[in-house]
Structure 1
Amino acid sequence: MRHVLVLNASYEPLNITTWRRAMVMLLKGKAEGLEHDLGRPIRPDHHLPTVIRLRQFVRVPYKQLPLTRRNVFHRDGHSCQYCGFQGEQLSIDHVLPRSRGGGDSWENVTTACLRCNVRKGNRTPREAGMPLAREPRRPISSLYFEATRQIRAGTHQEWAKYVIGA
C-alpha cells in the first residue's frame, strides 16, 4: 500500500494517509498534489500522489510525545548511541546519571547496548571517553518518526524536503 504525506496549507506535515484517501481529497478540490509517483499512472493524465497539500489551513492542537522506552529506541533508530550495535540487548542510559542529579528527560536519556551501559557506569560520556553518535533531543512528533523511517528506507525520498530534520 502506497502512503501519501499530507501537508497543511502552511506546508507543515500533518499526517500520512493512503493513496485512495489522498485521491478523494484531490478530486474534491480539498488538496493539491505537490509530488507524484510518475511510474504509476492511474490514467494517462493522472499519477499517484506522494505528497499533497491542503488548500485550507487546519488548526491542530499540539500534543507532546510521551517519554517511553519504545519511543527512545525509535528516536535512536534501535541502535546503541555509543558503539552503533543493533540487536535485542539494548537498554536506556542516562547521559548524566540519576545518581548525579540527571533526570528522566528526552535530552538526558539515550539508547545503549548492555555492554556500553555497564562500561560507562556512573560517569558522563566525556568522563568515560565514550562520545555519543547523536546528541539526545526531544522528537517533534510521532509523524516525524514514521516519515523519517520511510525516507531512510528509501521508499519516499521526496518527503525529505517537507520533514524538518529528516
Structure 2
Amino acid sequence: MGQVLVLNASYEPLNITTWRRAMVMMIKGKAESLEQDSSRKIRHDIMLPTVIRLRQFVRVPFRELPLTRRNILQRDNHCCQYCGYRGPKLSIDHVIPRSRGGEDTWENVTTACLGCNVSKGSRTPNEARMKLNTQPRRPHSSLTFEANRQIHAGRYTEWRKYVIGWNN
C-alpha cells in the first residue's frame, strides 16, 4: 500500500519502512505521524502515514557508502554527466584520468555514456572542452538514493523537506 519515511527524533532520515510497521510504532507510542496521505485510509477516520518521527533519539553508527559502479550510477541518476544521455550504454569515467594520477574516489568518478567517455579519453574535462553537468561528490547515504528515486517517480513528494541532498 505504501512506504513510510522514518525520521530520528532529530528529524534525520533513518530508513524507509512499510505502513504496517509504521502503524505499529505509532500505536506503541514509539513514533508520531508528521505527514499523512489523505487519499489512502485504513478506516474512514485513520489516514496512512507517509512520514513518521521517532519519539526517542536512536544512535546510528556511521557507515561509509562503498564506492561501487551501482552506487555511482545511482548517485548520478543513471545519466551521463556530460551530455545527459539515459540508457543502457553507460560507463564510469575518471574526471582526472588514472593515467595522470586520478584516484578512485567519489569526487573523481562520474557516470558517462560510452561516446562521451571515448571522446574525453585521457584528458580532463577542460582539456576535452566538455562540461560536467554536476560536480561529483560523496553521497550522504544510501537512504538518500532510495528517497530521491521515490520523489523523482512522483511518489512521496512530501519527503523532499526531510531528505538531505535531495536534487531536482
TM-score (norm 2): 0.97
Kindly tell me the number of residue pairs found equivalent between the two proteins: 166
Ranges in structure 2 where 5+ consecutive residues have no aligned partner? none
Match of 1:14 in 2: 14
Report deviation, 1:45. Answer: 2.6
Preserved contact between residue 80 and residue 111 of structure 2 (Cα < 8 Å): yes
Partner of 1:37: 37
Tell me the SS of whatever aligns to 2:63.
coil
Report Cα offsets for 1:84-120 as digits up to 9, x if no partner: 1111111110000011111000000000011100100
Percent of aligned pairs with the same residue? Answer: 73
Residue in 2 that maps onto 1:95: 95
Shift of 1:44: 2.9
Matched, 1:137 2:143: no
Partner of 2:67: 67
Structure 2 counterpart of 1:55, which letter?
Answer: R
Task: Output the TM-score relative to the length of structure 1.
Answer: 0.98
Matches of 1:110 and 1:60 in 2, distance apart? 29
Query: What root-mean-square deviation, in Å, do the aligned CA atoms of Structure 1 and Structure 2 show?
Result: 0.8
Q: Distance in 1 between matches of 2:130 and 2:34?
A: 44
**For 2:108 and 2:164, how far apart are their aligned partners in 1?**
22
Q: For residues 46-86 of structure 1, give each alpha carbon's deviation from its aligned partner in whole angstroms, at most 9, with x where no partner exists.
A: 10000000000000101000000111011111111001111
User: Which residue identity is paired with 1:18?
Assistant: T
Q: What is the CA–CA distance in structure 2 between the aligned matches of 1:93 and 1:77, rounded to whole Å?
A: 15
Q: Does 1:164 align with 2:164?
A: yes
Moved over 3 A (4+): none
Distance in structure 2 (CA, Å) of the matches to 1:88 and 1:16 = 28
SS for the counterpart of 1:125 is: coil
1:43 partner letter: R
2: CA distance, partners of 1:106 / 1:84 = 19
Mapped to 2, the partners of 1:114 and 1:40 lie a distance apart of: 44
Q: Give the aligned partner of residue 46 of structure 1.
A: 46
Give the C-alpha shift of residue 16 in structure 1.
0.1
Letter in 2 for 1:75: R
Q: CA deviation at 1:124?
A: 0.7
Uncovered stretches (5+) of structure 1, i.e. residues with no partner = none
**Cα distance in structure 2, aligned partners of 1:100 and 1:116:** 19
